Amino acid sequence: MGKTRLEAFSDGVIAIIITIMVLELKVPYHATVEALTPLLPVFLSYVLSFIYVGIYWNNHHHMLHACHKVSGAILWANLHLLFWLSLVPFATAWMGENHYESLPVALYGAVLFMAGIAYVILQALIIRSQGHDSVLKQAVGSDWKGKASAVCYLIAVFAAFYSSWLPQVLYVLVATMWLIPDRRIEHVLKTAKEEA
Amino acid sequence: MGKTRLEAFSDGVIAIIITIMVLELKVPYHATVEALTPLLPVFLSYVLSFIYVGIYWNNHHHMLHACHKVSGAILWANLHLLFWLSLVPFATAWMGENHYESLPVALYGAVLFMAGIAYVILQALIIRSQGHDSVLKQAVGSDWKGKASAVCYLIAVFAAFYSSWLPQVLYVLVATMWLIPDRRIEHVLKTAKEEA
Amino acid sequence: MGKTRLEAFSDGVIAIIITIMVLELKVPYHATVEALTPLLPVFLSYVLSFIYVGIYWNNHHHMLHACHKVSGAILWANLHLLFWLSLVPFATAWMGENHYESLPVALYGAVLFMAGIAYVILQALIIRSQGHDSVLKQAVGSDWKGKASAVCYLIAVFAAFYSSWLPQVLYVLVATMWLIPDRRIEHVLKTAKEEA
Amino acid sequence: MGKTRLEAFSDGVIAIIITIMVLELKVPYHATVEALTPLLPVFLSYVLSFIYVGIYWNNHHHMLHACHKVSGAILWANLHLLFWLSLVPFATAWMGENHYESLPVALYGAVLFMAGIAYVILQALIIRSQGHDSVLKQAVGSDWKGKASAVCYLIAVFAAFYSSWLPQVLYVLVATMWLIPDRRIEHVLKTAKEEA
């Protein structure tokens, strides 16, 4: 079974998720600066989530590049990841519209945490399908980024009830960590090619 | 006529269906647990429908893999299937927002029933286009899963007016039945390949 | 310049158009038959438009199959067609929600008329790009279907102000005319292949 | 790393952006001309933005045609462009619904300006990735169109607070400038091919 449709479907769902988020930027009735300012937190949370979904698309892209056989389990692990990503627009809007109050900020972190777990499951299934000398396994290594992200999300979820800035700092930190080009997979794939 | 665009278009429509369902999770105005709890039934019906649409995408994927010639009849049978699937978000939201009252639960079952019938029609047309030794025919066999699902949907539609839990049990049961990996088509295709 | 992205983009836009129409089926607040009945005209207009957009996708599919070179003019003629198709959800909802009153019914016809004209322009540009022995030219022939549709739409637009049923009959008639398998292009392409 | 998924994802996002704009054409409750006329400015701004997004898709199409290697930087520059384009529906609706008042007209220009800058960044990254004899570099040349557009947007943003027609004239002018077939890339690519 080919992976073309899996990629196409995932691209479609992620493209829709990243785009419908903007629908939560409700068009104000008046043409004044005052009408626009309440949208600022919604806009900022949109920017953050746009970057997060962009990171997921980017990494998903790399990961599937290294995957050759698509099993039923991989299909469902992929849908599981898309499910949690589909909740990002809701969490983003709730957080932005309530000006970063505790509960929405915690829920936002929880959705990111679950998406992270779903990503790790999908990654593990692809690695298992590749057998002993998995290229993806080598590329991911100890996956410290994935683990650090999960820990940061968890801290953010709990910190949301005590601090108004710590969770945001953590969310921005994790995003920045992933934005720094992740050449692990690219690199190992290249090396594997050159060795062959 | 190739099947690439048929797959691409179906992927697009199914990706949109599965994603716009989440728009029915209306963002609450307050940042409290009390504001979130009324969304629980909407969320649960979203999870159920996400799995159903995922199953359809998955099976559609396998079925078209076994299809080589796309006739006008197959094109329209496919659009017919997409039509009923496009009603799933409406039925899901109506059921969730009305806390699983009889009529919406029955309508939900009716939409699933019609989608099931549309799927069987599409399957029959593909099998007919493959002629005598249809690989898909062998793979599907007696199609007991399809038949059992249709019967369960029908029972659920009528049971909706007498029981509050039986239809839900049936919907979850059918979904579980399909979630258990359906290797029929994969298996027969593989065997056909090895024999050749 | 390849046509793959043109097809992919058109598929994407048409898939979104056909799917967002269903968002106009607003989820009723109550779980009663009385709450559902006002949606019936909206539903019927959705069914009609779903079939129309399906026909356009189907014909677009065939037409581009016969097109090999994509010029800038063809790209813009295609966007022009997509523009008018993008107004179908609006016209559909206005017609359905106002229970088929004169003005919305006329607007619906006008949008279909403009989409028809846009289709003919795109077709003419593709034929011109193919030169003398255009396969598409042979396939389309006198294009009586296209001409008859345009005339029917125009009659429907004016009839909308005098009759409540004539426009609907015309819309259903045109759709039926196109639903009857249009093997012209398929046929000529096949013949051209066999001759070669 | 292939560019197929980059194209597919961009096509998906642009297709959604161009289509969800039409959702801002809110279906009026009454079936009268009076109910329709307030939508005219919204409709006109929709037409303008449809053309702008069409131009971006068209140029993006050409530009990526000339791109062979997709780096991480190109991926993110592409997402950056999509981010600004995703704000077009919001800016369009705000401008149309407030009948072209100063602030929304300025914001519209600002979003177009930022999208233009993002496009130039993406273009520069692709040129850099092609090295010395970049085909795209030759094709774009001094990129006077890109520079003239940016200047026009900036003038429009400031003019919005003093004139009600000048910004609109500028927006239409820039769109027209791009609509006139841009054969630079096509031409240079063709020449490069013939020389080889």
Tokens of residue B64, six digits: 């078209």
| pLDDT at residue B185, rounded to an integer | 59
A85 in Cβ contact with A56 (< 8 Å): yes
Per-residue confidence band for D105, with pLDDT thresholds at 50, 70 and 90: very high
CA–CA distance, C166 with D179 (Å, rounded to integer): 40
| pLDDT at residue A181, rounded to an integer | 62
Secondary structure class of D21 (helix, strand, coil):
helix
Q: Percentage of residues in chain D with pLDDT exceeding 70?
A: 91
D2 chain-A contacts, CB cut-off 8 A: 65
CA–CA distance, B67 with D118 (Å, rounded to integer): 43
How far does CA A174 lie from the centroid of its chain?
Answer: 10
Q: Averaged over D85-91, what is the pLDDT?
A: 97
DSSP D36: H
Q: Do A29 and D97 touch (CB under 8 A)?
A: yes
DSSP A30: S
Please report the DSSP string for D157-170 in residue order: HHHTTT-SSHHHHH
Secondary structure class of B192 (helix, strand, coil):
helix
Q: What values do phi and psi take at D97, rounded to 5? A: -70, -20
Q: Averaged over C139-149, what is the pLDDT?
A: 85
- Judged against a pLDDT cut of 70, whether residue C185 lies above it is answered with no
What number of C-beta contacts closer than 8 Å exist between A and D?
A: 77
HSE-CB for B176 with a 13 A CA cutoff: 7
Could you tell me which chain A residue has the CA closest to the CA of B185? Answer: A1
Q: How many helices (H) and strands (E) does chain A have?
A: 10, 0
| pLDDT at residue A136, rounded to an integer | 80
Per-residue confidence band for D144, with pLDDT thresholds at 50, 70 and 90: confident
Q: Does C9 touch chain D (CB under 8 A)?
A: yes
Task: For residue D40, give Cα distances in angstroms to B144, D33, D34, D72, D102.
Answer: 55, 11, 11, 43, 18
- Judged against a pLDDT cut of 80, whether residue C181 lies above it is answered with no
C96 in Cβ contact with C46 (< 8 Å): yes
Please choose, from the candidates A178, A182, A19, the residue with its C-alpha nearest in 3D space to the C-alpha of residue A85: A19
What number of C-beta contacts closer than 8 Å exist between C and D?
A: 76
Interface predicted TM-score (ipTM) of this complex, two decimals = 0.89
Q: Percentage of residues in chain C with pLDDT exceeding 70?
A: 91
Could you tell me which chain B residue has the CA closest to the CA of A78? Answer: B54
| pLDDT at residue C1, rounded to an integer | 54
CA–CA distance, D114 with D83 (Å, rounded to integer): 10
Considering only CB atoms, C87 lies closest to which of D22, D36, D57, namely: D22
> In sequence order, which residues have a C-beta less than 8 Å from that of residue C159 and are 6 or more positions away?
C166, C167, C170
> In sequence order, which residues have a C-beta less than 8 Å from that of residue B4 and are 6 or more positions away?
none
Q: Averaged over B44-70, what is the pLDDT?
A: 90
Q: What is the pLDDT of residues B87-119, one digit of tens each?
A: 999 999 999 999 899 999 999 999 999 999 999
D182 chain-C contacts, CB cut-off 8 A: 72
Q: Percentage of residues in chain B with pLDDT exceeding 90?
A: 63
Per-residue confidence band for A180, with pLDDT thresholds at 50, 70 and 90: confident
C13 in Cβ contact with A15 (< 8 Å): no
Q: From the candidates A4, A5, A76, which should be mutated to test the interface with B, based on the most B CB atoms within 10 A?
A: A5
Give me the helices (H) in chain B, please: 4-20, 33-36, 40-65, 72-86, 88-97, 102-130, 135-140, 144-159, 166-179, 184-195
By CB atoms closer than 10 A (0-12, 13-18, 19+), residue D162 is exposed
Q: Averaged over B122-136, what is the pLDDT?
A: 84
Q: Averaged over B82-89, what is the pLDDT?
A: 97
| pLDDT at residue D66, rounded to an integer | 77
Q: Averaged over C33-40, what is the pLDDT?
A: 92
Q: What values do phi and psi take at C5, rounded to 5? A: -70, -35
Tokens of residue B63, six digits: 């079925």
D52 in Cβ contact with D177 (< 8 Å): no
Tokens of residue B40, six digits: 């629980």
B116 in Cβ contact with B143 (< 8 Å): no
HSE-CB for A104 with a 13 A CA cutoff: 24
CA–CA distance, A100 with A167 (Å, rounded to integer): 10
Q: Does C72 touch chain D (CB under 8 A)?
A: yes
CA–CA distance, D96 with D105 (Å, rounded to integer): 9
Considering only CB atoms, B181 lies closest to which of A72, A83, A97, namely: A72
Q: What is the pLDDT of residues A18-74, one digit of tens each?
A: 999 998 899 999 999 999 999 999 999 999 999 999 999 988 988 888 787 888 889
State the amino acid at position B29 in one-letter form: Y
Q: Does D62 touch chain C (CB under 8 A)?
A: yes
CA–CA distance, B159 with B104 (Å, rounded to integer): 12
Per-residue confidence band for B24, with pLDDT thresholds at 50, 70 and 90: confident
Q: Averaged over C151-162, what is the pLDDT?
A: 95
Q: What is the pLDDT of residues D14-47, one digit of tens each?
A: 999 999 999 889 999 999 999 999 999 999 999 9
pTM to 2 decimal places: 0.91
